[in-house]
Amino acid sequence: MKALPAPCSSWILWAVFSCFGSVSGGQPVTVEKLVFARTGEPTELTCDYRTQPGPGFTVEWRHAAMGTPAIEARRVLYYNGKVYWVESWENRGVLVQNPPVQGSASIRIFSVQPSDAGLYICDITNPNDWAGSGPGLVNFTVLMPPSTPTCSVNGEAYPGNDITLMCLSSHAVPAPTYTWSREKNAIQLPLQNMVEDQQTGSLILRNLSAPFSGTYTCRASNELGGAICTVVLSVSYNSSAMVAGIAVIVTFVILLLLGAVMGYFLWYKKRNRKSTEEGHNPRDPRESASATPLTRSPGDRPPHHSGDGEDHLIPTKPSILV
């Protein structure tokens, strides 16, 4: 492939004309300012001029990708008696009129790619007619159906928590609309617990509970088509929290058992001590005096029973002391 010639003074001319905005039909260069095409389809970028080509006549197309300043636009095609395409554009396009010397410098793109979107500058330079020279600006939009979106969950799906389901399609022109849905047989959820944003693709679920579990489907769609993604949500208790709770309960039960054992031990010890003290204490003297002797002394005589049923004591002789 031949090397491209260095850009001429048309850059200065383009900068002057750029100060006045895009060129309209009454200007030396006429373009279709807004062009739309679908991915994979052919399209044409129009650029017509009125000047009569003479020596030094040139045509240049430049492209600034989406988000790139016009001053940083890169050359796509250059004509100065011969046609030069940059390597990345070779075999992807053609001049509608070749050579472009009869009032048209329009180009046709065979198969549009997403990267083709952006600003195109058709720059006509005629040194013999500066009034007939100038740039034309074309805003080219590549229409695309949404790419397959990505679904994700932000937050912890524990009972009582709030989480956000996210859905994002990286490529779509125009911007897609996002809609969320659940399986047909799913339990109907309270509307106040769901907040859906169809522009950003977010779905906020508030105060989670078991009925929130299930499969959620997000559909990203625009005028050209749609695509879906799914995410499975399972609302469950935090395993670490359950372990901690069980540990607390077990600890409490152990402490309770230890307290019961300790209380029983103290009670048993106190009872034994009381029994021991009672075993060592003497009996009350009054109880000893009032108690009936279990045996009689040899001098004691039993009472005499008379026939009338009454007991009579037999008198004893007084003992004589010697």
Distance in angstroms (rounded) separating the CA atoms of residues 15 and 255: 86
Rg (CA), the chain: 54
Comparing 292 with 23, which gets the higher pLDDT? 292
Strand order in the sheet with 107-109: 43-45, 107-109, 93-95
Side-chain-side CA neighbours of 32 within 13 Å: the count stands at: 13
Residue range(s) of every CATH 2.60.40.10 domain in the chain? 10-143, 150-233
Q: Mean pLDDT over residues 293-298, rounded? A: 49
Q: What pTM was computed for the model? A: 0.59
Cβ proximity of 47 and 31 under 8 Å = yes
Q: Of 74-88, 104-118, 211-225, 280-294, which gets the smallest average pLDDT?
A: 280-294
Q: What is the per-residue pLDDT across 171-186, written as a single tens digit (0 to 9) for each?
A: 999 999 999 999 888 8
Confidence band of 6 (pLDDT split at 50, 70, 90): very low
Distance in angstroms (rounded) separating the CA atoms of residues 15 and 83: 24
Question: Given this model, what pLDDT does residue 32 score?
Answer: 92
Cβ proximity of 79 and 123 under 8 Å = no
User: Domain 10-143: what homologous superfamily?
Assistant: Immunoglobulins (2.60.40.10)
Cβ proximity of 139 and 122 under 8 Å = no
Question: Given this model, what pLDDT does residue 251 score?
Answer: 81
Tokens of 147: 């790419």
Question: Given this model, what pLDDT does residue 299 score?
Answer: 52
Distance in angstroms (rounded) separating the CA atoms of residues 53 and 11: 18
- Tell me which fold the domain 150-233 belongs to: Immunoglobulin-like (2.60.40)
Peptide bond into 99 cis (omega under 30): yes
